[in-house]
Chains A and B, each alone.
Chain A
């Protein structure tokens, strides 16, 4: 089974997938391994692992601060790959995507990055500043190695772009729930159901919703719409506190998805 297939298979048939995000190297390289293992123990179906970048323009204050701290810890893309390899050594089999801005990948070398990612046990990529129009080289390399390149859609995406991403995205489609940067919000964005329905009308792939989801209650609501719920900033914030806090929130989020049934 290749990475794309592992990701596609990560979505359980009977409920919405729990897809937590963690910043690699935060709060420390060692503690970030524990954070990830805690997320897996709490029942993560698919991991999104953030590669720190100096200028994360799609991220809000929580992830900005965490990636800054990770960079101060000296974390690099090679170390991120080594962390994934270490997780695989520890028998963590949960499918994992690297979430990285494009420049660290370019600096590493696109083809080399994909080859080394396969060797480290990465299953795919999410690159928030790389729309399909610019992704040719990474897309080719991912296809060659059987890794998923997941594209994003936003509430502002036109019908043409929705069709393009629906066709090109591998494994699932990442729906950005709102027009904004990452970060927990108090309430679910209005119009989410319509947005999801609009995508579902043309896409025959799992849909995962992220941005702004931080509580079990919010996760439960989103689970009625989508095959996956992505939680980032809220968990990253807990990671800055303690492993126990991460576990508490992860369990809350995961349990909120029990019995979830998508109402289309």
Chain B
């Protein structure tokens, strides 16, 4: 389970995945794959990673029974996998730390990364500070404006945040610039890609660094309930927190899984980031080195996306999710901005947990599906990050009025 896809298939997930990159990067991808395979066979690497995940990140993160939310929805027992409690506030640190250790192992002292919501940027900056690596984070100017606290956080951690003012000025364009920077300094630089996306070996590598989420959750639910859950729910931007939760359960045929994309204003409006929900605008294509579902126009130009959550605001989805959808192993749905916002308030009021707006999409799905489920069913919702970074956005959208009245379920 924890090995790379065979090199003979070049990181293919059925018809998805692959390595669609400029030639200059091919050797760096080979180098990364080789370094990772060697690291996997090195007990010291695994020990160092596990040690840091425990003593630095604070893993295992808790699995919290959400008693009041479960009661309120009059549905199943809802558990929250608390990645929001991981050091630096989101699951992103799991992968950032793993890759930073690999960079160190490859003798690369410089790291470039992209960020949307800033959570991966903060994760990368944190890991680089810890290991003494130089870190440059590319971030769209639209995202910089809506995620100011994370920009400052990255700077405090010693990273340089480079604004990206091209295209839609969001995550997609930050990835373009990070890849351009990597191309330019490929021999000395590691590209610390933040989601289960991009060219092979990244989708597999990132998934393997993130599946600690699912491995822990599996053990924790067995301990708490003595059985496996009926349903897993996670939000899907690129899809790293979702694949991290889902992957260790894939062989458990009785465990259903739902990935929740960003429905934005609505699917019909086109202002969304729901790659699986909009066959008019999303087709199989290639973006950023991988073949998957991509929001694009009829001429193959990549579309600008919209989501209230910067971390889901991306036109392509990780290739393994595309395969899991084809196989009908995981089903995919979406939550709109408004639904995510309502779920954000609900979780804060009922459980004392302020979720990231990304994670609020997963909460929105449990709000929708829970009432129809039996009371003795068990659901795990991945709370991929905390919401401190989103307070400005939420204040603008909801206002104090919303907090006092309409958003209060009690």
Contact = CB atoms under 8 A, between A and B. Distances in A.
Asked whether A and B interact, the reply is: yes
Contacts of B183: 57-58, 179-181
Interface in B136-187: 166-167, 172-173, 176, 179-180, 183-187
A264 B274 CA distance: 55
A129 B26 CA distance: 10
Q: How large is the interface on B (under 10, 10 to 19, 20 to 34, 35 or more residues)?
A: 35 or more
Contacts of B283: 107
Given A103-B286, A103-B300, A157 B23 contact: yes
B301 A129 contact: no
Contact of A156 (B27, B285, B299): B27
A161 B20 contact: no
Interface stretch (B69-77, B231-239, B288-296, B383-391): B288-296
B403 interface: no
- Tell me whether chain B's interface is mostly helix, strand or loop, or mixed: mixed
Interface string A129-156: 1110110000000000000000111111
B187 to A, nearest CB: 7
Contact of A103 (B23, B172, B298, B302): B302
A108 B186 contact: no
A78 B301 CA distance: 13
Contacts of B299: 76-78, 104, 107-108
Contacts of A128: 22-23
Q: How large is the interface on A (under 10, 10 to 19, 20 to 34, 35 or more residues)?
A: 35 or more
Contact of A55 (B26, B28, B302): B302
B395 interface: no
22 contacts: A54-B167, A55-B167, A55-B172, A55-B302, A57-B183, A58-B180, A64-B166, A77-B299, A106-B284, A107-B285, A131-B26, A133-B10, A134-B10, A134-B20, A154-B26, A156-B24, A156-B187, A157-B24, A158-B26, A158-B30, A176-B23, A181-B180
Interface of B: 10, 18-28, 30, 166-167, 172-173, 176, 179-180, 183-187, 283-289, 294, 296, 298-302
Given A57-B180, A105-B300, 15 more contacts: A54-B301, A55-B302, A56-B176, A64-B166, A103-B286, A106-B285, A107-B298, A129-B22, A131-B20, A134-B18, A156-B28, A156-B187, A157-B24, A179-B184, A181-B180
